[in-house]
Amino acid sequence: MTPGVSAAPLSKGGGIALRGLAKSYGNTRALQGLDLDLAPGEILGIAGPNGAGKSTLIRILAGEEDADAGQISNDDGHCTREFLAKHVAVVHQEPQLFPNLTVAENLLVGRERTRFFRPRIRQPDRELMSTMGILVHSNDAVSKVRLATRQRVEIGRALARNAKIFLFDEPNSALSADESRDLFRELHKVSEAGNIVILVTHRLDDLVRHTRRVALIRDGRIDGQLTGTGLTEEAIARLLVRGLEPDEKSNDAARRARKEPGEPPLLQVSAWCHTAKAFSNVEFALASREVVAVLGVEGSGAREVLRSIAGFENSRGDIRLRGREGVAHVRSATAYVAPSRSESLFHNLTVGDNILARLARPEIANIYGRLKKAEMQSRADVEIRRFWVKAESASQSITTLSGGNQQKVAIAQAILKRPQLILLEEPTRGVDIGSKREIYQLLRDFADDGAGVLMFCTEILEVFEAADRVLVFVQGRLAASIKTADHERIEELAATVARAAGEAV
Amino acid sequence: MTGKLPFRASFAVVVRAGGLVAAIIIVAIVFDLFNAAFLSIDVGISILRSMCSVAILGLGLTLVIISGEIDLSVGAMYGFASNILAVTWILGGLPIYLALPLTLVIGAVVGMCNGILSTWARIPSFIVTLGSYNLLYGLSLLVTNATTFNPVYPPDGSNVAAGQLKFFVGLTRQLGAHQLSAEIFWMIGAALVVGFVLHYSLFGFRLYAIGGNAAAARLARLPVDKYKILAFSAAGVLAALAGILDFSFVQTTQPDIGLSQTFPVFAAVVIGGASLSGGKGTIIGTLGGAFLLAELQTGLAVLSPGPYAQQIFLGVVTVGAVGLDIALSRFRSRRAA
């Protein structure tokens, strides 16, 4: 056992014990025998890669769903779903409030204590708002106040209904440094009042700074806990990637080292600044045949960098593609793939039509705009095979495909447009492991044809398997550019990235 | 099991189209049982003639609805076209050969304005076309000075050249022994053109994508706004065409003509399988919907139980057809699951 990794301490008095929780969605096993102990007055950190079961755990703890097996109990015995729904409060990164109502009204909804008349704010609510620092906003519509204030309102709502367990789900991902500090002050207050507090976040520095114990979830169970001096950013980073077996082919050093020297860069970005200040002064280049990942937690600016190159975020600076300057040129010579299939696919079209949706004359229509139906059909069949889409036929509805195959269709749609550079946001979100590897290979093949791939990732494993180089973003700045080929094992890459991110703060 | 999917898809099309065809046949048989003369060529031709304006208006509305927008103003545009033609030709003395294309151009401009306001100005198309519905009716009242027109009996001080009158009335003249109106051929021609554009052109292919998921279409860099504006413009031209043809057939126009067509046109399009949320609908479906409505109208006129019956049937058939569609798609998704 790694030093610092210890068995879960058992809690007594007001604690909650989770034993053997299991939950499946269709064929996906989200949780498979998760054990965890929660103690009042303690802040527990939870980390884990995407798809490890964090959100499922949150939903079950919050009483939104029942587990298939296992149980949740406190000192008095089994906790029912109603009990959990009543006592557990989730603070989301995007608070779930009533945007059309005022701050004060939001505190009242669900506990109006009136049968007929319009409910009124009472003294305890006013005191609560005052201690939360939101009394000044009490008559403002929630949609008009800042995100940090909305989160306070969500915490306030939970306190007002006497919740005992607080789940913070990536709470500060879109907050400024000052706002984060205020939020964590609030989080510690909630904990000191004897409540159970759980912090789920991708931000390793927050886990180290604000928690005494971090539990790591992988494949639906707890895969180690860190406490005391063993709780460091690097230790979490190593634990996050422990036991992952990258594909043999992807770690092929020869493949990664075939960049031709002296060739001008495909994409060159300098003095690149986001108008809304998500990032500033970003400078990097991307060569032909190169697959580059931009990595960073929410709020680091990494996602916005990618979207700005696609032309969906207002930015200033110098951007060149094959030496030609200008946002409009880059826009016309690149193709973008959105992170969610609901933004990249047309649910009312067939698989074949989805693949061909970005094409125009001369590929699928003649000069008069008449569709070439026969060519479209044979082309769709060819592309379905070429992109390894598992479909019975091109004419079946896109909604009948699995998530992984839908994502292959989305990527095929963009690649068929023959862009010089393809921009992808979280290219394998919600995709099974087999499809992931196929998608990485498709992107690799596309790059090998002389194009470039730039993708926004949140997972080190994805970076290690798919990318030649990773650009690490921290607080709106490019902290490091790291070659993946310099790292034999994924743990080493994870440690390098964590070190670079830590130094940049 | 998934091997049956293409079969299921085609089965669904048959059920959907078949449902409409079945409804048309059943309604015909029921009317024939009540009135032995219903199943005849003459009644069939009369139904085809009376479905013309709803069908042509429906063609344009189908384009707009597939693009994910809505156009409440097609009926009002139909009326305005008929009135502006009457005023410029009969009152203003503009030759019919100029007044007709002018009217079509006005239709295109009105549609384009609807489209521009709904896309570039980001005003919901429901609001935009609710406004243009009222605006066009107001303009009809303004230009006609709230009077009716008939080119055969022009008002004092105006006169209509005999040749021009013959040409205008000839647009919808009755042909052959069964009094087959030429308006039917205009409808078929318009349906062929719009059907080709929708089902066999790049424009139509992309219009379905845009209506199915406008956000994805934008991210895929499809010309979303341009295509929506074109769909609105086509709806305007088709509404003007329907107004012109009905004016030629009836030979009289009133300021409020066409307003009552608004909801039957919507009924025809949704009965034909178009979805108000966009991305779904066919030309053959819209024609079928318009035929079913005209059939009910004609049958009830023959039986003449009173004007209430037509409205009641319109209501029942509209909700029934869409309800059937939803029930069928639930049935399909349960089978697919």
Distance between CA atoms of residues A135 and B93, nearest Å = 72
Min distance A395 CA to chain B CA atoms (Å): 7
Min distance A391 CA to chain B CA atoms (Å): 9
Contact, A206 vs A452, CB < 8 A?
no
- What tokens appear for A432 in the block? 């099974």
- What tokens appear for A353 in the block? 């039509």
CA dihedral B112, B115, B117, B119 (to 10 degrees): -140
A341: left (phi over 0), alpha (psi -120 to 50) or beta: alpha
Give residue B332's pLDDT.
Answer: 64
Min distance B61 CA to chain A CA atoms (Å): 19
DSSP state of B87: I
8 Å CB contact of B219 and A370 = no
Name the residue in chain B with its Cα closest to that of A335. Answer: B220
- pLDDT > 70? residue A173: yes
The one-letter amino acid code at B105 reads V
Mean pLDDT of chain B: 90
Name the residue in chain A with its Cα closest to that of B333. Answer: A400
8 Å CB contact of B336 and A414 = no
- pLDDT > 70? residue A302: yes
- What tokens appear for A416 in the block? 């068929």
8 Å CB contact of A365 and B222 = no
Dump the DSSP string for A277-333.
Answer: SSS-SEEEEE-TT-EEEEE--TTSSHHHHHHHHHTSS-EEEEEEETTEE-HHHHHHH
8 Å CB contact of B212 and A348 = yes
8 Å CB contact of B212 and A349 = yes
| Residue owning tokens 């730039």 | A454
Q: How confident is the model at residue B14 (pLDDT cuts 50, 70, 90)?
A: low
Q: Which residue of A307, A348, A409 to mutate against B (max B Cβ within 10 Å)?
A: A348
CB contact, 8 Å: B279 with chain A? yes
Give residue A9's pLDDT.
Answer: 37
CB-nearest partner of B200 from A344, A349, A370: A370
Give residue B178's pLDDT.
Answer: 81
Give residue A481's pLDDT.
Answer: 94
Q: What is the pLDDT of residues B283-296, one digit of tens each?
A: 999 999 999 999 99
Give residue A117's pLDDT.
Answer: 82
CB contact, 8 Å: B216 with chain A? yes
Name the residue in chain B with its Cα closest to that of A397. Answer: B9
Min distance B62 CA to chain A CA atoms (Å): 16
Give residue A10's pLDDT.
Answer: 36
Q: What is the pLDDT of residues B238-281, one digit of tens each?
A: 999 999 999 999 999 999 999 999 999 999 999 998 988 999 99
CA dihedral B271, B277, B282, B283 (to 10 degrees): 80
Q: What is the pLDDT of residues A487-498, one digit of tens each?
A: 888 888 999 998
Q: Within 13 Å and on the Cβ side, how many CA atoms surround B275? A: 14
Among the residue ranges A108-112, A372-376, B164-168, B180-184, the one predicted with the least confidence is A108-112
- Please list every residue in chain A whose beta carbon sits closer than 8 Å to the beta carbon of residue B3: 392
CB contact, 8 Å: B280 with chain A? yes
Distance between CA atoms of residues B80 and B72, nearest Å = 14
At A165, phi and psi to the nearest 5?
-120, 125
Give residue B5's pLDDT.
Answer: 43
CB-nearest partner of B202 from A365, A395, A400: A365
What are the boundaries of each domain within chain B? 51-290
CB contact, 8 Å: B209 with chain A? yes
Residues from A contacting B (CB-CB < 8 Å) are 312, 331, 335-336, 338, 342-349, 353, 357-358, 360-361, 364-365, 369-371, 373, 392-393, 395-397, 400, 413-414
- Residues A203-207 have a mean pLDDT of 86
Write down all domains in chain A, each with its CATH number in brackets: 16-241 (3.40.50.300), 249-342+419-504 (3.40.50.300)
- What tokens appear for A288 in the block? 């032909």
At CB < 8 A and 24+ separation, what contacts does B19-27 make? B19/B321, B19/B324, B19/B328, B20/B271, B20/B272, B20/B273, B20/B285, B20/B288, B20/B289, B20/B292, B20/B321, B21/B288, B23/B292, B23/B317, B23/B321, B24/B288, B24/B291, B24/B292, B24/B295, B27/B292, B27/B295, B27/B296, B27/B299
The proportion of chain A whose per-residue pLDDT surpasses 70, expressed as a percent, equals 93
Min distance A339 CA to chain B CA atoms (Å): 11
Distance between CA atoms of residues B89 and B109, nearest Å = 19
Q: How confident is the model at residue A247 (pLDDT cuts 50, 70, 90)?
A: low
- Please list every residue in chain A whose beta carbon sits closer than 8 Å to the beta carbon of residue B273: none
Q: Is the ipTM of this complex over 0.85?
A: no
Mean pLDDT of chain A: 87
Q: What is the pLDDT of residues A52-72, one digit of tens each?
A: 888 889 989 998 888 999 989
Q: Is B145 in a helix, a strand, or coil?
A: coil
**CA distance from start to end of chain B:** 11
- pLDDT > 50? residue A5: no
- What tokens appear for A205 in the block? 């520095």
CB-nearest partner of A338 from B3, B211, B219: B219
Distance between CA atoms of residues A174 and A299, nearest Å = 5
Indicate if the alpha-carbon torsion angle B40, B42, B47, B52 is positive or negative: positive
- Please list every residue in chain B whose beta carbon sits closer than 8 Å to the beta carbon of residue A370: 200-202
Q: How confident is the model at residue B87 (pLDDT cuts 50, 70, 90)?
A: very high
Min distance B257 CA to chain A CA atoms (Å): 37
Indicate if the alpha-carbon torsion angle B269, B271, B272, B275 is positive or negative: positive
The one-letter amino acid code at A73 reads S
- Please list every residue in chain A whose beta carbon sits closer than 8 Å to the beta carbon of residue B213: 342-343, 345-348
Distance between CA atoms of residues B242 and B257, nearest Å = 12
At B218, phi and psi to the nearest 5?
-65, -45
The one-letter amino acid code at A252 reads D
Contact, A227 vs A255, CB < 8 A?
no
The proportion of chain B whose per-residue pLDDT surpasses 70, expressed as a percent, equals 92
Contact, A40 vs A195, CB < 8 A?
yes
The one-letter amino acid code at B42 reads D
- Residues A245-254 have a mean pLDDT of 52
Give residue A401's pLDDT.
Answer: 87
Residue A66 CB: number of other CB atoms within 10 A?
12
CB-nearest partner of A357 from B9, B209, B211: B209
Contact, B199 vs A373, CB < 8 A?
no
For residue B56, CA distances in Å to A360, B53, B61, B259 come to: 29, 5, 9, 15
8 Å CB contact of B211 and A348 = yes
- What tokens appear for A102 in the block? 């005022």
- pLDDT > 60? residue A444: yes
| Residue owning tokens 């070439």 | A372
8 Å CB contact of B216 and A349 = no
